[in-house]
A and B are shown apart, each in its own frame.
Chain A
């Protein structure tokens, strides 16, 4: 089943220099396993290809049902040097929530995941 990340997670993002971070949080604790399994470092790097210049790092926070991604080279130099509208990476959060993931039907049924409209 095709799932849109926006329908199973919320997120907040911020900056540290030229790096944006995106914390992605499962809307239901039981959906954390879906984030953990399908929102991989590689998937996120592919999602943002062309938008960021550096690597992606991923950290797990099962205690908060959350993943934290660091997007390096995401802010056109960052801080006051950046000419971007989103120089502080505030809305990389919702950009990540655009991601579509394909979850096996059995898992989607078991976890009562909402199908993408």
Chain B
């Protein structure tokens, strides 16, 4: 058994730094490269792509990422674990195989493909068996939006990834596994943590939570002493060095920018936190009030003391459904009285939409540069040098939203003065794919692992 297992994070979301995976394998020794591609809305985007072309529906950036780290996988034994499969993990695996064949990988890659999270085709059956898939926030049953559902995926845990590693996979591709499982699985595999080693499993979850957003724990988006954080242009992505007892050090490769310190790690620990006593995952419930942090040399933070308890018998399900249309338009008003001019433009625009008889579920106007993000807490902004009116509408009727987009530009000539910043043209109408969180009995979700080579 290895004494220390190193898991490095190379992608915090789909759209993150394309070169980060390569920098993580080249910058120093690592055993696993973990790549997280899936945010809540990503699955629905991928589902739309799969509808247009059945060979798509996965995070295509992943193929390039594998190519960029292929020598490390083939020659140094670095294993790659990613939820890049989206709604089509087998197609993702096939794309990786075909892209890497010419690079001497033929017969040397074993790709573990984890499926079974996708509930879309069985949704009607599940509902008729009494699984309401009620919205966790509103309590409404899924039947209210069932005809508009685009994708439905259960968040599955680390077990199928562990199984793929046991099957000799050097690349594991999942669909909607939990972000934290991508880090936890190699630790369970290497240290042979039993299914009821709650404290170790909880440590794996905390390690995963810390690194799943990439550089957001190593100096990126860090408020604490932000001016002094060095060389963000070359920011080091994080890695964890984990021991069998579950204690671990968060660090980054030498000669990289950013910072790993108790404050940078603490900021990431509280990110998207709910009840800290119960961070619920399919494998374990972790208690974030037991985490101990200590600086352990430069750019090293020791994390220990973590306690866990048994998981629930439910899995979280992420359903995406079509929820109408929206558009957002902007105009900039300049000093003097920038805010007052923008406010008048807002009133004029509302009155015109009203006269046109356009109905929306929601109209929101914000004054960027004055109150858009901090509301009245921002204080008196009447002296602001410029204020952007940001005007958004949302509703079920595409034509009404489309009509709204034509009402911004006229204000340049027939509204309040000192207006500019309209060069971007007419706002674009966007279809809204909304997110419906639900729970389902664990027993009805059957993860499956295939090894292809």
| Contact (Cβ within 8 A) A47 B377 | yes
| Contact (Cβ within 8 A) A81 B323 | yes
On whether A83 and B328 interact (CB within 8 A), knowing A12-B223, A14-B271, A61-B288, the answer reads yes
Bound-state Cα–Cα, A59 to B275, Å: 7
Which chain A positions have C-beta within 8 A of B375? 50-51, 95
On whether A91 and B326 interact (CB within 8 A), knowing A63-B290, A64-B291, the answer reads no
Total inter-chain residue pairs, C-beta < 8 Å: 122
Which chain A positions have C-beta within 8 A of B437? 17
Which chain B positions have C-beta within 8 A of A19? 137
| Contact (Cβ within 8 A) A83 B41 | no
Min CB gap A37→B, angstroms: 18
- Scoring B221, B269, B390 by chain A CB atoms within 10 A of each residue's CB, the highest score goes to B269
Bound-state Cα–Cα, A77 to B137, Å: 11
| Contact (Cβ within 8 A) A21 B270 | yes
Min CB gap B302→A, angstroms: 14
Kindly identify, within residues 274 to 301 of chain B, every residue whose CB is under 8 Å from any CB belonging to chain A.
Answer: 274-277, 288-293
| A35 within 8 Å of B (CB atoms) | no
Contact partner, A11, options B223, B276, B435, Cβ 8 Å: B223
Q: How many residues of B are in contact with the other chain, CB < 8 A?
A: 49
| Contact (Cβ within 8 A) A79 B362 | no
| B233 within 8 Å of A (CB atoms) | no
Bound-state Cα–Cα, A85 to B292, Å: 35
Contact partner, A10, options B224, B372, B432, B434, Cβ 8 Å: B224
Contact partner, A25, options B263, B277, B290, B376, Cβ 8 Å: B263
| Contact (Cβ within 8 A) B223 A16 | no
| Contact (Cβ within 8 A) A94 B271 | no
Chain A residue at smallest Cβ distance from B224: A10
On whether A85 and B373 interact (CB within 8 A), knowing A17-B435, A64-B293, the answer reads yes
| A68 within 8 Å of B (CB atoms) | yes
| B259 within 8 Å of A (CB atoms) | no
| Contact (Cβ within 8 A) B223 A10 | yes
Contact partner, B137, options A17, A47, A59, A76, Cβ 8 Å: A17
| Contact (Cβ within 8 A) A94 B374 | yes
Which chain A positions have C-beta within 8 A of B223? 10-12, 93-94
Which chain A positions have C-beta within 8 A of B394? 81, 83
| Contact (Cβ within 8 A) B377 A21 | no
Residues of chain A having any CB pair with chain B under 8 Å: 10-19, 21, 23, 25, 27, 47, 50-51, 59-66, 68, 70, 76-77, 79-81, 83-86, 91, 93-95, 98
Which chain B positions have C-beta within 8 A of A79? 40-41, 434-435
| Contact (Cβ within 8 A) A12 B432 | no
Which chain B positions have C-beta within 8 A of A51? 375-377
Contact partner, B267, options A10, A15, A60, Cβ 8 Å: A10
Bound-state Cα–Cα, A17 to B40, Å: 10
On whether A21 and B273 interact (CB within 8 A), knowing A11-B223, A98-B374, A98-B377, the answer reads yes
Q: Can you identify 29 A-B contacts, CB atoms within 8 angstroms?
A: A10-B223, A10-B224, A10-B263, A12-B221, A12-B268, A13-B271, A15-B272, A16-B272, A21-B270, A21-B272, A21-B273, A23-B270, A51-B375, A59-B276, A61-B288, A63-B290, A63-B291, A64-B266, A64-B270, A68-B276, A70-B274, A79-B434, A79-B435, A80-B435, A81-B434, A84-B364, A84-B372, A94-B223, A95-B377
Chain B residue at smallest Cβ distance from A17: B137
Chain A residue at smallest Cβ distance from B362: A83
Which chain A positions have C-beta within 8 A of B364? 76, 83-84
Which chain B positions have C-beta within 8 A of A91? 373-374
Other A-B contacts than A23-B269, A61-B276, A76-B362, 9 sampled, CB-CB below 8 A, are A12-B268, A23-B267, A23-B270, A25-B266, A68-B273, A80-B41, A81-B432, A85-B390, A94-B374
Chain A residue at smallest Cβ distance from B268: A12
Chain B residue at smallest Cβ distance from A29: B262
Which chain A positions have C-beta within 8 A of B293? 64
Contact partner, A85, options B137, B272, B277, B372, Cβ 8 Å: B372
Chain B residue at smallest Cβ distance from A65: B266
| Contact (Cβ within 8 A) B434 A21 | no
| B433 within 8 Å of A (CB atoms) | yes
| Contact (Cβ within 8 A) A80 B433 | yes
Which chain A positions have C-beta within 8 A of B432? 80-81
